């Protein structure tokens, strides 16, 4: 049954590359065939040993079943277009924003992903954000830090391993949802489909946080933005995004997100519940502030996060998501002079951007450790149970 989810197709074809519009429409009904095959192969292995075999392959073991290695080895093949030096430069540029990097990922990136009522449905059905908002955001942060760390996406890097685990988890969730009588294929398309994952690579994890950081006064040269896109292009490749939907340039990525805004389903009550859970339960104040300030910040932190989310989502989308409209949405403009001053110092060579990026990652990892974040992504019964 064809999905009705892709809206305003004629308008999109008139405004954007019609071939790209067609590919994005088709991708809503397509899944990651390779990852689906990996999860299907688990059925031929002794109970519970599927992910153990994947983890053994990641560790370089030579006793992994041949049928599974035949599915995994192509994922490790590095495309000719990968430039490792560009990936490493992208890592530095991506994280040198300090606390702003984490703020924009929370208030610009993840919130942007929940605008789409259809794309958000897998999270609703698995209860991954409503019931376990804190764990879900921790897992996402842990994966992102691994994927965007120096050398992380090399064959034996932690980022490569975590990205593959996320890919397999997506396939496991998709398999369970497709078997559920509750999943509405016509309205929502394939769960965790190729287009939705591509949108994450083109926008939520790359161009959207960079745009938000620039809004607060950070400076990114064009070559830095392209290096960041190159980094996420390869992460997307390992995550299973088909080559035609992997944006090779920032301009292509932005065009994809512009198409998304024109054609995607608007926010609904589930979208609003997800954003509320993200902002109010995603990051406990006790992990961010000294103990004496925790009680004072219990209400203040969500209010500030709502302010930044409205600013970066825009009033139209923020209204759909029922995000409060308060003067706090202007905080981005308030902090801009200080950020610009810091950026002048960095560009003048007074601040080491490599150290800044490393310090940001170390701080986030410390916060995750304090919150007992899962050490790695797992594919288990709890993660793939349909609860709605």
Q: How far is CA 165 from CA 23, 27, 129, 168, 377, in A?
A: 26, 22, 19, 5, 6
Its pTM stands at 0.92
Report residue 292's pLDDT band, with 50, 70 and 90 as the boundaries: low
Q: Span 285-299, mean pLDDT?
A: 56
Task: Check residues 242 and 361 and name the one with the higher pLDDT.
Answer: 242
Q: How far is CA 82 from CA 33, 70, 297, in A?
A: 23, 22, 44
Q: Which of 218, 257, 234, 189 is nearest to 84 (CA)?
A: 234
**% of the chain exceeding 70 in pLDDT:** 89
**% of the chain exceeding 90 in pLDDT:** 70
Report residue 296's pLDDT band, with 50, 70 and 90 as the boundaries: low
Q: Which of 279, 226, 272, 248 is nearest to 79 (CA)?
A: 248
| pLDDT above 90: residue 297 | no
Structure tokens belonging to residue 138? 């921790």
Place of tokens 């088909």: 242
Whether residue 57 contacts residue 72, with contact meaning beta carbons closer than 8 Å, is answered with: yes
Contacts of 45 (CB under 8 A, 6+ apart): 53, 65, 68
Whether residue 35 contacts residue 165, with contact meaning beta carbons closer than 8 Å, is answered with: no
pLDDT by residue (tens digit) across 88-116? 999 999 999 888 888 888 889 877 788 89
pLDDT by residue (tens digit) across 223-265? 999 999 999 999 999 999 999 999 999 999 999 999 999 999 9
What does the alpha-carbon distance between residue 146 and residue 267 come to, in Å, rounded to a whole number? 30
Whether residue 151 contacts residue 85, with contact meaning beta carbons closer than 8 Å, is answered with: no
Confidence (pLDDT) at 117: 93
What does the alpha-carbon distance between residue 242 and residue 62 come to, in Å, rounded to a whole number? 29
Whether residue 235 contacts residue 204, with contact meaning beta carbons closer than 8 Å, is answered with: no
What does the alpha-carbon distance between residue 141 and residue 148 come to, in Å, rounded to a whole number? 10
- Rounded to the nearest 5 percent, the helix, strand and coil shares of the chain are 70, 0, 30
What does the alpha-carbon distance between residue 256 and residue 118 come to, in Å, rounded to a whole number? 17
Task: Name the CA dihedral angle for 278, 279, 285, 289, rounded to a multiple of 10 degrees.
Answer: 110
Question: How many other CB atoms are there within 10 angstroms of residue 187's CB atom?
Answer: 13
Contacts of 331 (CB under 8 A, 6+ apart): 304, 307, 308, 311
Q: Which of 76, 343, 78, 100 is nearest to 210 (CA)?
A: 100
What does the alpha-carbon distance between residue 111 and residue 204 come to, in Å, rounded to a whole number? 9
Sign of torsion, CA 386 41 241 93? positive
Average predicted confidence (pLDDT) for the chain: 89
Confidence (pLDDT) at 111: 77
Task: Name the CA dihedral angle for 350, 354, 358, 364, rounded to a multiple of 10 degrees.
Answer: 70
What does the alpha-carbon distance between residue 163 and residue 159 come to, in Å, rounded to a whole number? 6
Structure tokens belonging to residue 29? 């009904």
Sign of torsion, CA 287 288 291 297? negative
């Amino acid at each position: 049954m064809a999905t009705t989810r892709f809206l305003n197709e004629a308008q999109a074809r008139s405004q954007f590359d019609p071939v790209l519009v067609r590919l994005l429409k088709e991708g809503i009904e397509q899944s990651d065939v390779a990852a689906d095959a990996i999860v299907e192969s688990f059925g031929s292995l002794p109970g519970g040993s599927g992910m153990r075999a994947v983890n053994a392959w990641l560790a370089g073991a030579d006793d992994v079943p041949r049928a599974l290695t035949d599915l995994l080895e192509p994922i490790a093949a590095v495309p000719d277009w990968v430039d490792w030096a560009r990936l490493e430069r992208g890592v530095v540029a991506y994280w040198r924003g300090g606390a702003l990097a984490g703020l924009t990922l929370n208030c610009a990136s993840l919130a942007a992903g929940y605008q789409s009522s259809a794309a958000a449905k897998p999270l609703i059905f698995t209860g991954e954000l409503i019931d376990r908002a804190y764990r879900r955001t921790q897992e996402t942060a842990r994966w992102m830090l691994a994927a965007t760390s120096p050398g992380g996406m090399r064959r034996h890097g932690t980022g490569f391993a975590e990205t593959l685990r996320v890919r397999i988890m997506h396939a496991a969730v998709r398999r369970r949802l497709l078997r559920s009588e509750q999943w509405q294929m016509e309205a929502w398309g394939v769960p965790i489909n190729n287009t939705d994952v591509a949108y994450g690579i083109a926008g939520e994890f790359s161009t959207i946080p960079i745009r938000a950081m620039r809004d607060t006064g950070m400076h990114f040269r064009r070559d830095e933005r392209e290096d960041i896109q190159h980094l996420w292009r390869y992460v997307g490749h390992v995550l299973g995004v088909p080559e035609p939907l992997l944006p090779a340039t920032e301009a292509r990525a932005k065009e994809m997100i512009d198409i998304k805004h024109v054609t995607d389903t608007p926010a609904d009550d589930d979208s609003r519940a997800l954003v509320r859970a993200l902002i109010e339960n995603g990051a406990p104040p006790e992990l961010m502030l000294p103990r004496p300030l925790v009680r004072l910040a219990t209400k203040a932190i969500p209010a500030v996060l709502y302010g930044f989310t409205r600013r970066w989502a825009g009033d139209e989308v923020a209204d759909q998501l029922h995000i409060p409209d308060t003067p706090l949405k202007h905080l981005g403009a308030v902090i801009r002079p200080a950020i610009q001053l810091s950026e002048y110092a960095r560009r003048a060579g007074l601040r080491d951007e490599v150290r800044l990026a490393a310090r940001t990652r170390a701080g986030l990892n410390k916060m995750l450790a304090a919150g007992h974040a899962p050490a790695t992504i797992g594919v288990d019964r709890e993660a793939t149970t349909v609860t709605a």
